[in-house]
Amino acid sequence: MFSKVTGGTVTGIDGAMIGVEADINDGLPVLNLVGYLSSSVKEAGERVRTALKNSGYYLPPKRITINLSPADIRKYGSGFDLPIAISIVLSMGIISVLDLSKTIIIGELSLDGSVMPVNGILPMVYSAYEKEIDTCIIPKENVNEAGLVKGLKVIGVSRLAEAIDYIQGNINIAPYDDMDYEFADDIPDYKCDFNEIKGQKVLKRGMEIAASGFHNVLLSGSAGAGKSMLAKRLPTIMPGLSFEESIEVTKIYSISGMLDKTNRLVTKRPFRSPHHTISNHALIGGGAVPKPGEVTLAHNGILFLDELPEFNKNVLEVLRQPMEDKKIYISRVQAAYSFPADFMLVAAMNPCPCGNYPDLNRCTCTPYQIKRYQQKISAPLLDRIDIKMDVKPVLYEEIFSDREEENSETIRNRVIEARETQRKRYADEQIYLNSELDGKLIKKYICLNYETEEFLKQNIKDKTVSARGINRILRLSRTIADMDKKENVEIIHLKEALFYYNSINVYGKGGEINE
């Protein structure tokens, strides 16, 4: 007898529907699984056979064939156990009262028949909902996550026998319903605040500009100057995640198995800070079955690379493409995968190996050592960083000052206002922020008068600024103008943008701005 149900898998960060077909016929008693399967899916046969036996269902001594289609998609993971078991019992003659053509079934089986949770539930059920499936039968521990998809009937089961009884209509399981849940776009409660940073007015201004336009930042300064402290407080001045952004980030953390079971929706902007010993694959993603790397886990948030020159140079170079494209493309023999990677890069570095340059009374490095250390950061990578700031040590007078510093909420309100200006301006475009402007849109939205254009030419003609660098200076000046509530970019905005773009002296570059 033939039967078919629908299961699911994950490709990239999206779900894909998989047909699970079962056929029981005369022949040697064997259970065959076919359909371009990974080893974890091939092992499902023994798990399903034992789980059915321990749930009171014995397989007939016949030839059982299980096909997972389409055959051109590689099947991974243990989430096929439950749909395989259901398809087998349906082929044994059990009658379903459900419309299984409108139902997706996902779950891993333990040998005693328990239904275990799986990763990636949200993208799978979301994809099913888009394909007009109205019911999902999933592990009980995953219902909180699947419940984010409104309009989908979510049935949570804890045992195989319970799922079979529900399909037969022997028992009634109330669908998961969280009518009281409403997404709140409130700013999460952070344990740190910008008012804890004493002094550093120029640096705070630079971080506010970065948050307003989602610009990449490089902080260079001696050890203990406060680079990490600044970076870790940057999320506190950024707007909260929108519902769409939260769903996208939650899908990423779901397939990575990093979703907090107590909070089904990620509401904080990601802040990822990998150690400098990280590998290429861990940073950008990869593996036999590609999984998201740190750049994807930082999507819609911040990727903080502390001690930047200590990272392997090859690791840093792989950042260049996602910093431009906002996506990661990973190709394998069986498929090509795409992961989102729209992050703000915040990097910190010491100016020399000992960390004390330019204090020549304390610095023990030779000029050759300093130059070699700084050259670990390639020019193409630096060219993709909009704001470069030299972090000076805080003066003792400021450390012990009683002056009250501006708090994160005050700065964040200004950032939200600047972003709202950008959102309205680009309402007809496929972008939201100034950092997303490309060459064509820069010409459309950044119009310089003759005097302002001549000023820009005068300040870049003697410097080795690439075409990409010029565009980044213009984007930065557009953000500063938005913060100043000006319709057009003026000379004062270009001056500040040039200052932040050329602020630190890497490779002997940087310098004064011509008046």
Establish if 285 belongs to a structural domain. yes
Q: Tell me the pLDDT tens digit for each residue of 90-115.
A: 999 988 888 999 999 999 999 999 99
Q: Which of 242, 331, 343, 231 is nearest to 290 (CA)?
A: 331
**Could you say which of 133, 168, 203 is where a domain stops?**
168
Q: Judge if 231 and 155 occupy the same domain.
A: no
Domain of residue 318 covers: 194-432
pLDDT value at residue 402 = 75
Mean pLDDT of 187-210: 87
* pLDDT of amino acid 508: 42
User: Is residue 399 a contact partner of residue 408, using CB atoms and an 8 Å limit?
Assistant: no
Does one domain contain both 161 and 298? no
> What pLDDT is recorded for position 279?
93
The chain-wide mean pLDDT, for the chain, equals 88
Domain boundary pick from 134, 151, 168: 168
Residue 416, pLDDT score: 95
Q: Which residue has the tokens 């409108």?
A: 102
For the stretch 115-138, pLDDT in tens is: 999 999 999 999 999 999 999 999
Nearest Cα to Cα of residue 217 among 382, 373, 439? 382
285 plus 384 within the same structural domain: yes
Identify whether the C-beta of residue 431 lies closer than 8 Å to the C-beta of residue 479.
no
Residues 503/390, Cβ–Cβ less than 8 Å: yes
- Domain co-membership, 250 together with 294: yes
Amino acid at 170: N
Question: Strand, helix or coil at 383?
Answer: coil
| 154 CB burial (10 A radius; 0-12, 13-18, 19+) | buried
User: Looking at the predicted structure, is the pLDDT value of residue 187 above 90?
Assistant: no
CA distances (Å), 498 to each of 121, 133, 205, 387, 439, in order? 47, 54, 14, 9, 19
Report percent pLDDT > 90 for the chain.
57
What is the predicted pLDDT for the residue at 185? 63
Q: Can you give the CATH number for the domain in which 157 is found?
A: 3.30.230.10
Count of domains forming the chain: 2
The rounded distance, in Å, linking the Cα atoms of 148 and 20 is 25
The neighbour count for residue 403, using CB atoms within 10 Å, is 7
DSSP letters spanning 439-506? HHHHHHH----HHHHHHHHHHHTTTT--HHHHHHHHHHHHHHHHHTT-SS--HHHHHHHHHHHT-S-G
Q: Is residue 349 situated within a structural domain? A: yes
> Can you state the angle between helices 201-213 and 408-425, rounded to 10 degrees?
40
pLDDT tier for residue 513 given thresholds of 50, 70 and 90? very low
Closest CA to 348 of 384, 383, 303: 303
The answer to the question of residue 145 being in a domain is: yes
Q: Which of 426, 447, 377 is nearest to 219 (CA)?
A: 377
**CB-facing half-sphere around the CA of 251: CA atoms within 13 A:** 23
- Residue 375 falls inside a structural domain: yes
In a domain, 186, yes or no: no
Give the residues across from 18 on adjacent strands. 7
User: Is 459 part of a structural domain of the chain?
Assistant: no
pLDDT band at 509; cut points 50, 70, 90: very low
163 and 253 assigned to the same domain:
no
Statement: residue 474 has pLDDT above 60 = yes
144/199 same-domain check:
no
pLDDT score recorded for residue 507: 45
**Domain membership flag for residue 264:** yes
Query: Is residue 183 pLDDT above 80, yes or no?
Result: no
Residues ≥6 apart with Cβ < 8 Å to 192: 232, 233, 236
Per residue in 293-350, pLDDT (tens digit) is: 999 999 999 999 999 999 999 999 999 999 999 999 888 777 788 899 999 999 999 8
Going by C-alpha positions, the residue among 286, 296, 290, 283 that lies closest to residue 326 is 296
Please determine, for residue 510, whether its predicted confidence score (pLDDT) is greater than 80: no
Q: What are the angstrom distances between the C-alpha of 255 and each of 18, 322, 386, 392?
A: 17, 20, 32, 42
Would the pLDDT of 430 be above 90?
A: no
- Dump the DSSP string for 385-450: -SEEEEEPPPPHHHHT--PPPPPHHHHHHHHHHHHHHHHHHTTTSS--SGGG--HHHHHHH----H
- Residue that terminates a domain, selected from 380, 399, 432: 432
pLDDT value for 221: 86
| pLDDT for 439 | 83
Residue range 368-421, pLDDT digits in tens: 888 888 888 888 899 899 999 988 887 777 777 777 888 999 999 999 999 999
Instruction: Concatenate the DSSP letters of all residues of 183-223 into one string.
Output: ---PPP--S--GGGS-S-HHHHHHHHHHHHHT--EEEEE-T
Q: At what angle do helices 467-483 and 408-425 cross, to 10 degrees?
A: 110
Same domain, 81 and 206: no
CATH classification at residue 383: 3.40.50.300
Q: Which two tokens stand for residue 46?
A: 């023994």
Confidence of residue 461 (pLDDT cuts 50, 70, 90): low
Domain identity same for 324 and 209: yes
pTM, two decimals, is 0.87
Do 150 and 205 fall within a single domain? no
Residue 164 has pLDDT above 50, yes or no: yes
464's CB contacts (< 8 A; 6+ apart) are 509
Peptide bond into 358 cis (omega under 30): yes
Give the pLDDT confidence of 477-505 residue by residue, as tens digits. 999 999 999 999 999 999 999 999 886 65
218 shares its domain with 362: yes
Residues 110 and 222 in one domain: no
For the segment 12-58, what is each residue's pLDDT rounded down to a tens digit?
A: 888 999 999 999 999 889 999 999 888 889 999 999 999 999 999 99
Amino acid 436: pLDDT: 92
Q: Are residues 198 and 161 in the same domain?
A: no
Q: Looking at per-residue confidence, does 356 or 91 come out higher?
A: 91
Is residue 234 in a domain?
Answer: yes
Give the per-residue pLDDT at 151. 86
Dist CA 206 CA 200 (whole Å) = 10
Q: What does the pLDDT read at residue 186?
A: 64
Q: Of 295 and 353, which is predicted with more confidence?
A: 295
Of all residues in the chain, the percent with pLDDT exceeding 70 is 95
